[in-house]
Amino acid sequence: MSRRRCNEPFFWSLFSSGGMISALILPGLVFFLWIATPLGWWQSPSYADLVMLLENPLLRAGLFIVISLSAVHWGHRFRFTLYDGLQLSHLYGLIATVCYGGAALIVCIAAYVLWSFA
């Protein structure tokens, strides 16, 4: 008797790590970029400074991880919001394709943009 392996724990771990990353990292980014900078508490970085930062491969890899895990978290959360909140469970395949396809598109765009600085 063979048992089929389930890949659901892997996807739930991506979802939960994306939620954790989003909860820990994104509020700091929002504070510095959209609150502290306009109020003058933090000096706005110039374009040259940002390009210099993005030349570091570790920073690019870190940003890629934050963006990709947040996108996977969004796709999974939005999928189940449409299923349960709006009662659209009859569109199971279409919603899953659009949500996870959108997350994959965001990950591909992030990879292209971040690695174009190399």
Which of 5-9, 34-38, 100-104 shows the lowest mean pLDDT across its residues?
5-9
DSSP characters for 11-53?
A: HHHHHHHHHHHHHHHHHHHHIIIIIIHHHTSSPPPPHHHHHHH
Q: Are 9 and 60 in contact (CB under 8 A)?
A: no
Q: What is the pLDDT of residues 30-56, one digit of tens each?
A: 898 889 999 999 888 888 998 898 899
- Global pTM exceeds 0.85: no
| Helix, strand, or coil (residue 110) | helix
CB atoms within 10 A of CB 75: 24
